Amino acid sequence: MSIRLRSRYTLLSLTGIALLGSGSLVYAQALTVYSAGPDALIERLAADFTAQSDIDINVFQSTTGQVMARLESERANPLADVVISASWESAVALSQEGLLHPYRSPNAESVPDFLQADDYVAQGISALALVWNRNSDTPMPTDWADMTDAVYANQVTMPDPAQSGTAFELLTGLVTAMGEEATWSLMEALVDNGMIVPGPNARALNPVLQGAKSVVFGAVDYISLGQQADGEAIEVIFPASGTVIAPRPMMILASSPMQDEAEQFIDFVLSEQGQRRVAESYLMPARSDVEAQRPTLDELTLIDVDSAAMGAQREALLARFRDVIGG
């Protein structure tokens, strides 16, 4: 977990309180953004926004699970103004609790309707994939069920849905497409074949990059697409039977004392400049009129998931997953 702070003020805490020479306290006007990765994207967006608006930004960057846990721990004294998650159902849940500030950005005109609501909107979109090390001794897989074959014994990793919002989206997609019985049968077969679940996305991907394992089951694609572009010997495979997308919702907390500035930040991320930054991270831009640098929605076979319904089953699904993997 890491906190990166940018401000021209002397910050004593994330509340933005600055101590002046006279001993009096004033509030520094800095916007606080909690964001799931990628690190470089939020850093560039924050720097670009500050350069354009002269509004400073404090950034807390971590996994979706840790971001949401931090929000929960701060309920009595909310510190965040804007939250960017990697799990659409997290925005649905916060909206249903009445914790979000309604706002529709004028820059969201080219964002498809299913990627926005009255109080949250997609920053960008990732999809879930198989990531295969080309230098491994295993054949290139084509679909999820391939990972149960003996040739992949002890060669597969999977991110933990309890720690990765995108992995949870995949779990809900499999349940939607296959039904619960077939999904848990698949998971049991994967575990019987030696699949490990080491933690969030990076911990699942690193053994494959290093050659200790061969395939990630349910890798978030933008990370691997970026590493592939940098020369890593990996392939990112979108199964023909279908996959899920993981829109990254942006939302303003109703408790924020800086809602005008927060709205400006949302506007900036949805501007052409902001969406080009999103595309540079190998995410699909939320805006359909900004060019992507990777496969887009029209090129993938997608499973349509009811995020609200699946979000309501979150604890039950995670408990069953833990039982299956023996955690």
Q: What is the pLDDT of residues 111-135, one digit of tens each?
A: 999 999 999 999 999 999 999 999 9
Q: Are strands 82-84 and 30-36 parallel, antiparallel or unpaired?
A: parallel
- Name, in order, each residue with C-beta under 8 angstroms of 121's C-beta and a sequence gap of 6 or more: 104, 105, 108, 111, 115, 249, 250, 251, 266, 270, 286
Q: Are strands 25-27 and 2-5 parallel, antiparallel or unpaired?
A: unpaired
Are 152 and 215 within 8 A, CB to CB? Answer: yes
The helix (run of H) or strand (run of E) holding residue 189 is helix 180-192
Which amino acid, 140? M
* pLDDT value of position 65: 85
* pLDDT value of position 327: 64
* pLDDT value of position 211: 96
Q: What is the chain's pLDDT, residue by residue, as a tens digit (327 residues)?
A: 333 333 332 232 333 333 333 333 334 579 999 999 788 999 999 999 999 999 999 999 998 889 999 999 999 999 999 999 988 889 999 999 999 999 999 999 999 999 999 999 999 999 999 999 999 999 999 999 999 999 999 999 999 999 888 899 899 999 999 999 999 999 999 999 999 999 999 999 999 999 999 999 999 999 999 999 999 999 999 998 999 999 999 999 999 999 999 999 999 999 999 999 999 999 999 999 999 999 999 999 999 988 788 888 999 999 999 999 986
- CA dist., res. 195 & res. 117, Å (int): 37
DSSP result, 198-222? EESHHHHHHHHHTTSSSEEEEEEHH
Q: What is the token pair recorded at 97?
A: 């609790």
**52-56 LR contacts (CB < 8 Å, sep 24+):** 52/268, 53/261, 53/264, 53/268, 55/29, 55/30, 55/31, 55/261, 55/264, 55/265, 56/6, 56/7, 56/8, 56/9, 56/28, 56/29, 56/30, 56/31
The helix (run of H) or strand (run of E) holding residue 57 is strand 56-62
* Percentage, residues of the chain above pLDDT 90: 81
Are 68 and 314 within 8 A, CB to CB? Answer: no
Query: DSSP letter at 7?
Result: -
Sketch out the chain's domains with CATH numbers. Answer: 2-124+247-294 (3.40.190.10), 126-244+302-325 (3.40.190.10)
